[in-house]
Structure 1
Amino acid sequence: MTKLKAPVPVSLDTDGDLASLRGDCARMAPHWHAPDRITALPVSPSLIHGVKVPSRSARLLDAMSDYGD
């Protein structure tokens, strides 16, 4: 049987200030790698299958000016 170690206590300071949040982000930034640019390639409509949109949802999006116009 494996002995489990006790978890390391973590401070859950939910009232941290902006400076501590910025410090946390700065320490984590080297761990996050993002590609320089992602370009989406067009997909042929014949390859898109199995997607079903309820007519009620389609009408809702069609009525929204951001999507329907």
Structure 2
Amino acid sequence: MTMYPAPSERHEPELSLADLRGDGARMAPHWVTPVSPSPAPVSPALIHGVVVPAASARLIDATAEYGG
């Protein structure tokens, strides 16, 4: 019978918040996304067929910042 050694556990070093922020700052240039053009405005007259459930409308209406 052949005996194989058990794999040893790998322990990753503890990283500080400063280490993580530094890693993120170095990787940030790789995450740049292209700027997409803003969508053209649409006339409200062209918007139709949107259905809002009554519960959602009541929720927004009850929110002072948005509604009545």
TM-score range, shorter chain: 0.5 to 0.7
After the TM superposition, which residues 1-69 of structure 1 pair with which residues of structure 2 at under 5 Å, given as runs?
16-33=15-32, 41-69=40-68
Higher CA-based Rg: 2
Q: Aligned residue pairs: how many?
A: 57
Normalised to the residue count of structure 1, the TM-score between the two structures is 0.55
What is the RMSD computed on CA atoms of the aligned residues?
3.0
Unaligned runs of 5+ in 2: 1-11
Normalised to the residue count of structure 2, the TM-score between the two structures is 0.55
Unaligned runs of 5+ in 1: 1-12
User: Going by fraction, where is helix more abundant, 1 or 2?
Assistant: 1
Q: Which runs of 4+ in 1 moved over 3 A?
A: 38-41
